[in-house]
Structure 1
Amino acid sequence: MDTDTGFLDPADENAAAARSAEEAARTALAGTGAYLMPPADVLTCLGADTTSWAHFAAHWQDLTEDEYAARRGTRRLRRYGHFSLSPVTGELRLLPHTVFVQPDNTNPLYESVDRHFDPLTGAFVADPVLRRVLGLLGRVAGALDVAEWWSVKVHPFRVVATAEGGGEPTPEGRHRDGVTLVSSLLIGRDNATGGESRVYGPEGDEILSATLHEPASLLVSDDRGTLHGVSPIRPVDTALPAHRDVLVTTLTPG
């Protein structure tokens, strides 16, 4: 396993800017329950440049079909992995691959359903950008709860739409995931319009609404007290397919 712990070198000239960006996310999460971290802040926190980000984004070319979404008319490609993360040391451990199950009273389409997805590739697991993303999320989640270890579930997604439809990032509609922190990192989008992300309070009041256009935009929310959903995407040029690539990651005390 890669030994990158997800922590920036304190001597790095960007470390102060990264700490400030992380603190802004932590403050917003503890306050309103949701925050959109700008791409420049995310890349600073990750210590990522154009080359390392492009290498990371290339993993979205190696996803596999989500047969469960296909049954409801949505073409979605994905993989799935489960890690444990130490909030103290940043140590990240890949756990044995298992089925993915969402708890009761969360996702109305799939709660308590065993869903079998292909595992993350070895190259994806070893990518330093992934490991730094998870480290960043672990530090941000510390604003919401104290954990000896975080249970981290990782879902790279590609949603595909055509002129005939099918571009539903969240076919279940407004929902919770039954976790502490839920996040959506935009990897990229092509020929796509729509895909507006919304976060709601428990009474249905809208807390945050944003369309993630620029790669490395990161939306985080406190899943314990909010719900979230994403509007459909559609192709700009209807002669060609549209796609929207995101990394959805959830954290819960392990």
Structure 2
Amino acid sequence: MDESAERFQDPAQSTVFQECPPAVAAARESLASTGVHLLPAATVKAHFGTGEEEWTRFATHWEDLSQDRYASARGTCRLRRYGQFAVTPATGELTQLPHTPFVQPDRSNPLYVDVDRHFDPLTDAFAADPLLHSVVTLLGDVAGALDSAACWIAKVHPFRVVARAGGEGQPTPEGRHRDGVTLVSSLLVGRNNATGGRSSVFTPEGPELVSATLDEPASLLLSDDRHTLHGVSPIRPLDASRPARRDVLVTTLTPA
């Protein structure tokens, strides 16, 4: 194990990891040791006991997103909504919290630090979706590798980034950045006519920890936001005569 991995390691947690379901245990151990973990789509689907029908239904929520006017002002075509939940890992309880503006703290996203951004709330159908609840509950279990919080605040962001015909779309126009949270996750929901969109996680000093193109729905990338930076490369249309899109669910967790 190299020096960058050693600073994450907590050997005392190894017994706890072994008591978790395999997908959770692997994610917790990897996050604790390296600060990053990629769960393949097949692993996520097996953990949830879901098939293609559930994921196809889940993806329909991305047809009901709203324009992100803050991104539009910077030349990026992005649609989104936003909501918050309280997650209690010990009981699996998930409670939707009142809708508020989204604010990113100091030393995080350099484009919007301390700016109140007002986004449309999650639809009732999306907030109640069993698959969303499964995802957020999984993240609450995984986040225990990074902090022993009794309750987590999960901030939920369904995103659609669009690249117009002949152009490109910027999933992270701010470049490499932190979100100012404990755990950050990116779940691929769908891609259409898109190339690019490679997700990468880096140490603060610059070396790359992982880089992968999430190209199968249910692929889930996790990282310890306290000790890493992340970013996503632009997407472009495969067929330059048609637009491209990339749909993801970004969920972040901080202790309540």
Give yes or no for TM over 0.5: yes
Q: Give distance in 2, aligned partners of 1:114 and 1:46.
A: 35
Within 5 Å, give how 1:1-254 maps onto structure 2: 19-254=21-256
- Other structure's SS at 1:156 match: strand
Which residue number corresponds to residue 11 of structure 1? none
Specify the code of the residue in structure 1 equivalent to 2:83.
Answer: G
- Other structure's SS at 1:142 match: helix
Q: Give distance in 2, aligned partners of 1:92 and 1:166.
A: 37
Residues 49-105 of structure 1: CA deviation (Å, up to 9, x unaligned):
221111111100100100000001000000000110001101111000000000011
Unaligned runs of 5+ in 2: 1-17
Q: Give distance in 2, aligned partners of 1:95 and 1:151.
A: 9
CA positional deviation for 1:47:
2.0
- Other structure's SS at 2:145 match: coil
Specify the code of the residue in structure 2 equivalent to 1:60.
Answer: W
Specify the code of the residue in structure 1 equivalent to 2:199.
Answer: S
CA RMSD in angstroms comes to 1.2
Specify the code of the residue in structure 1 equivalent to 2:207.
Answer: D
Contact in 2 for aligned 1:199/1:208 (Cα 8 Å):
yes
Residues 8-52 of structure 1: CA deviation (Å, up to 9, x unaligned):
xxxxxxxx9x81111111111001100110101101122212211
CA positional deviation for 1:173:
0.5
Q: Give distance in 1, aligned partners of 2:99 and 2:109.
A: 21
Residues 142-174 of structure 1: CA deviation (Å, up to 9, x unaligned):
111011210100000000002343400000100
Which residue number corresponds to residue 3 of structure 1? none
Q: Give distance in 2, aligned partners of 1:238 and 1:166.
A: 10
Contact in 2 for aligned 1:75/1:166 (Cα 8 Å):
no
Contact in 1 for aligned 2:166/2:237 (Cα 8 Å):
no
TM (normalized to structure 1)?
0.92
Residues 208-242 of structure 1: CA deviation (Å, up to 9, x unaligned):
00011111100000000000000000000011000
Unaligned runs of 5+ in 1: 1-15
Q: Give distance in 1, aligned partners of 2:132 and 2:235.
A: 25
Q: Give distance in 1, aligned partners of 2:51 and 2:122.
A: 23
Aligned residues: 238
CA positional deviation for 1:108:
0.5
Contact in 2 for aligned 1:45/1:136 (Cα 8 Å):
no
TM (normalized to structure 2)?
0.91
Specify the code of the residue in structure 1 equivalent to 2:204.
Answer: P
Q: Give distance in 2, aligned partners of 1:150 and 1:164.
A: 42
Q: Could you list the runs of 4 or more consecutive aligned residues of structure 1 that deviate by over 3 angstroms after TM superposition?
A: none
Q: Give distance in 1, aligned partners of 2:249 and 2:46.
A: 18
Which residue number corresponds to residue 7 of structure 2? none
